[in-house]
Structure 1
Amino acid sequence: MSKGARLALWLLVGGPILVFSLWALFDNARLYVVTMLNGLTLASLYFIVASGFTLVFGLMRNVNLAHGSLYLLGGYVGYVVADKTGWWLLALAAGFAAAAVAGLLIQVLILRRMQGQDLRQTLVTIGLSIVIADVLLWVFTGQVHQMEAPEWLQGPIRGLPLINAYGAFRLSLLGFGLAIGFGLWWLLNKTRVGAMIRAGVDDRGMLAASGVNVNLVFAITFMLGAGLAGFGGVIGAVELSMVPGEDIRLLLASLIVVIVGGMGSVVGAAIGAVILGLAETYGLAYAPTYSVVFTFVILILVLAFRPRGIMGKAA
């Protein structure tokens, strides 16, 4: 893309956003700032779930469309553990572990036999998603399950400028997202394990010839990606509640985040999550009838001008 075309694109996208922001700030500054915080906290949840999808789909090139069901599984397991023990941190660990074990079974028993067969992976994981979701519906029924935030994150944080108060748990999501994002970036770019993961994706045969157990590396990576979906499910059980259909919503959000941000890029996933979260919340706040349109406009612009995503690498 030439510099002129890039400048025209920035004006096309940034101009309306700047005009809207100035109008919204003068019209109702508090609503604008609260909506921004809502968008960023929602983006943190999307990023936590989509970061696992980035590892599995964007980096390993495994098409796992059961990722949303792993989110639901982690959320329900975390809900049960929190309800029985009252320990929210234990619920986080249990949700992560349940989804990680389920992801390991999917990778070892099924996807490992279909390496490079995208269509078969897609069809099989769609079937798995339906089965897992129906089993969870059978066990937990269609009733809405809402988990309480831990006591130390309940209530609002007061004294904030302009908005006065904001929910402590919602604000904590920003910390969770930043911690997980930095941890994944460090793992993939600064550790020997991350180097092996990237080498295995680029040239599996060469990595195996160097004496590395490629299947073990991929299994651990898949477990981590699935576990992050379950981790996000426990957070979502507090933030959004657990109800049948949330798996599809979070799967679609993860797909959009990966497409917009770029395949296999943790930084791209963070950017995509922020764009999607802000687009959804500002759309619902200022144009609820047409809010879904903004998501598709984003997809159209990215696929038209950056087909590999904002942080995607050229072929």
Structure 2
Amino acid sequence: MSAFASRHPIWSLIVFVAAAALLWAIFAAWPPGMVAWAGSKKIFLNAFFNGITLGGLYFLVASGFTLIFGLMRNVNLAHGSLYMLGGYVGYEVSALTGYWLLSFVAAFIVVGALGVLLQLFVFQRMEGQDLRQTLVTIGISIVLADLMLWIWGGNFYQILAPGWLSGPVKLPLVTAVKSNGEAVYLTYPVVRLAVFGAAVVLGVAVWLALNKTRIGMLIRAGVDDRDMLSATGVRIQRVFILVFAFGAGLAGVAGVVGGTFQSIAPGEDIRFLLASLVVVIVGGMGSIPGAALGALIIGLSEQLGSVYFPTYAVVLTFLIMVVVLAFRPQGLLASGRT
């Protein structure tokens, strides 16, 4: 951090001022002039936490995408379809069994198995052929979308969360003060906070697995020089199959999460594929911390933009991507390691 500050003093100052302003807006009491300009603090806090939790969902999708696309260099534009398939599988399992947690296991296994088939029959046959991978996976995504439309129709499906995740929780953040001096605190859905917590735990676990374990070392070495690694006796294709299955399984798990606090419906595959692309571009390909930062930025820009700049909310997301590509095309946290 100190090295970054010494190399980029102006950017460090901007980040520090922005962080201080954000902390003040979250924890301090807003003066009347601020309320008149930006609306009530409750609206801001709801949009802020919605952005963070949406960023958590984007990270769950993009973490699998950054493993497949950014780390393994496989252009899988069917990743959004894997997300939607996981949501539908999770809905069916949850509706049939009544066990919400079981839907995560089922979605991970089913979508992970599909990921194995994709790696075996598509990507192994097209290694290094980005254009062919792009065209083939676009075709696969269209076929999968039509099959899911045929099976589940065009209805919206909501996965019911268990009782212990239902209802709001009071957060220690004051939104207003009544005339009698009593403070009004923010209440927020428990399930959204649980999603964000799960995203943090998963992100830390994946980063540790890639950087602190032998399998992570093999993955990085295989990406850099697979021929040399294969010469040492490591069956690199088996490693890549496992990584692809894990990345696809993460997309399936994210589908269950998305179906729980949003919904599953046709068109969600395109939305989350675009979100994953933007997150990986902004954060940096192959970087788990970059995916986390990119997901947080995109989630906040979408939610805060929809409140304060509703006409330009969609433009704001892509404007961020354009700025990053213009000034740091490799991504904000891209590095040689994940």
Q: CA RMSD in A?
A: 2.3
**1:116 counterpart residue number:** 128
How do 1:277-288 and structure 2 match up within 5 A?
A: 277-288=299-310
Instruction: Map 1:68-79 to 2 at 5 A.
Output: 68-79=80-91
Secondary structure class of the residue paired with 1:158: strand
Say if 2:329 is the partner of 1:307: yes
C-alpha distance in 2 between matches for 1:198 and 1:249: 30
Alpha-carbon deviations, 1:258-294, whole Å to 9, x = none? 0000010000000000000000000011111111121
Q: SS of the residue aligned with 1:241?
A: coil
1:204 aligns with 2:216: no
- Higher mean Cα deviation, 148-157 or 159-168? 159-168
Going from structure 1 to structure 2, the CA distance change for 1:7 and 1:17 (only over 3 Å counts) comes to: same
Q: Percent identity?
A: 52
- What TM-score, normalized by structure 1, do the two folds share? 0.93
**Shift of residue 12 of structure 1?**
7.5
Q: Structure 1, residues 32-61: CA drift from partner, whole Å, max 9, x if none?
A: 222111110000000001000010000000
Question: How much has 1:13 moved relative to structure 2?
Answer: 8.1
Q: Which residue of the partner structure matches residue 74 of structure 2?
A: 62
Q: How many residues align?
A: 314
Superposed CA deviations along residues 181-213 of structure 1, whole A, max 9, x for unmatched, are 011001100100000000000000011001101
Q: CA deviation at 1:96?
A: 1.1
Q: How do 1:217-228 and structure 2 match up within 5 A?
A: 217-228=239-250
Q: Which of 73-82 and 283-292 deviates more? A: 283-292
Distance in 2, Cα, partners of 1:220 & 1:12: 42
* Cα distance in 2 between the residues matched to 1:181 and 1:129: 26
Letter in 2 for 1:189: N
Alignment of 1:164-203 (within 5 A): 164-203=186-225
SS in 2 for 1:222: helix
1:139 aligns with 2:151: yes
What do residues 3-51 of structure 1 show as CA deviations (whole Å, max 9, x unaligned)? 9995556678887898799789532222222211111000000000100
Partner of 2:47: 35
User: CA–CA distance in 2 between the matches of 1:10 and 1:242?
Assistant: 40
Could you list the runs of 5+ residues in structure 1 that have no partner in the other structure? none
User: Quick one: structure 1 residues 134 and 192, their matched pair in 2 at CA, closer, same or farther if it must change by over 3 Å?
Assistant: same
TM-score by length of 2: 0.87
- Provide the residue aligned with 2:319 in structure 1: 297
Gap runs ≥5 in structure 2: 175-184
